[in-house]
């Protein structure tokens, strides 16, 4: 993982999550399809979302799982 890319990913998730919260404040859950190592989860949780993810790449999903994130490992069609 490249730390600079992950910082940018966090910021991007925080921006998108903030926009969603401002438009739809009643929403409190988020499904991240293709969540990678789960970097965006921290930003979304900070905004008050309950987050789960789907990731087909075992090496990336294992990172997210090791951080305690709720990850379905596989493709979204099977999910």
Predicted confidence at residue 77, as pLDDT, reads 86
> What distance in Å separates the CA atoms of residue 39 and residue 13, rounded to the nearest whole number?
9
Q: What is the pTM of this model?
A: 0.85
Q: Six-digit token pair at 54?
A: 């789907």
* pLDDT tens, N- to C-terminus, the chain (79 residues): 788 999 999 999 999 999 999 999 999 999 999 999 999 999 999 999 999 999 999 999 999 999 999 999 998 888 8
Contact 53, 35 (CB under 8 A): yes
């Amino acid at each position: 993982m490249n730390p600079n890319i992950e910082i940018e990913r966090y910021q991007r998730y925080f921006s998108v999550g903030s926009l969603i919260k401002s438009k739809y404040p009643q929403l409190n859950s988020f499904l991240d399809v293709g969540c990678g190592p789960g970097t965006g989860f921290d930003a979304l949780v900070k905004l008050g979302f309950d987050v789960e993810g789907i990731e087909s790449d075992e090496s990336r999903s294992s990172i997210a799982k090791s951080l305690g994130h709720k990850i379905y490992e596989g493709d979204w069609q099977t999910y």
